[in-house]
Amino acid sequence: MGIVCPDESKRIEIEEFRRMLLSNAAVHRTKAGDEFQNPGKLPAANRHNRELEEKKVCVTSGVSFLGIAIVNQLLLRGYSVRVIVEKQEDLEKLREMEISGEMRQSMNTVEAVMARLNDIQSLSQAFSGCRGVFHTAAFVDPAGLSGYSKSMVEVEVLVTKNVTQACAITPSVRNCVLTSSLVACVWQDINSSRTIDHDCWSDEFICIDKKLWYALGKLKAERVAWNIARESGFKLATICPGLVTGPEFISRNPTPTIAYLKGAQEMFRNGLLATVDVNRLAVEHVLVFEDMKNTSYNRYISFDQVIRSEEELEKLARETGIDIRTTRSNSRTNSSNIVKLSNAKLCGLMSTIHRCHNEF
């Protein structure tokens, strides 16, 4: 495996194309005095080339906590991956990950491409030749303090809009998997809904009233993506994960972690504070993408644990360094107030290879 920059990638593609032409010419060459042809091998070669084309995908924010986990799972399953980077530092980080072993060793190619997330044409050029796009929507608050400020809501929406529009105008792209968030589902009037599942959406006015900017950004961005996908006709699937955890998650994924946990006490009281391991979530992204061959549009909720006890809440507080503990008077005392959280739809897809925790 090696990281390939755009110019080198173009040279390799030309060389591969040249070899393919020579190979095909050799198959059909007729020897003097001996009518030798081997057309039977041509379909197999074409099938192989088509398989390679189908296995080429692009990951935005590919050096993020979730992005690199998705890249590793794709490589494990035989994909060639193009990673979108916005600056030179991201490219250096990608190389460091390869050297350190954080990026899985593979015979397949990881190609780094510079693209501007605020430019649809730049994104379309980066997506060209890829069958699928994974938009992990990983952003860092420029202020570096609030986790996710109010101004970032429109940034999230704009970038997601650009990515989905670029998918729509890029001929090679057939499918897009968008990472949304469980907080785009849970912030609503719980008195009117006793089960939160993939059909549920957070209330925009509640998010604004409680200043839940991360939830609002994910909510609005996902809705924009769905509108563009349905108008344009390309396939879209969205995954709404709980708090993404894993090794050193608070230091490696600080902005989304801090932002997600705003309102954690209320989510805990309602039985809606859930987490998911980053590697499990990455596997789910790949399986959802592969299932899109059989489906058009799907939305999923992902989690593998619901924080149900004070002890579990205190453990999460220690891991994150964020005071999300509740006072005993604000703790859950009546189990009838707990809302059921269900990821049954995604579990149905995962059931063949993973044990699934659902409907807490």
- Catalytic residue ranges: 218
What is the sign, positive or negative, of the torsion defined by CA atoms of 152, 154, 157, 163?
A: negative
148 by Cβ neighbours in 10 Å (0-12 / 13-18 / 19+) ranks as buried
User: And the tokens for 7?
Assistant: 């110019």
Q: Which residues are paired to 196 by β-bridges?
A: 341
Backbone angles phi and psi of 292, in degrees to 5: -70, -10
Give the CA diameter of the chain.
Answer: 96
| Distance, CA of 198 to CA of 298 (rounded, Å) | 9
Length of the chain: 360
Strands (E), 150-224: 175-179, 195-196
Nearest to 326, CA basis, from 306, 347, 340, 312: 312
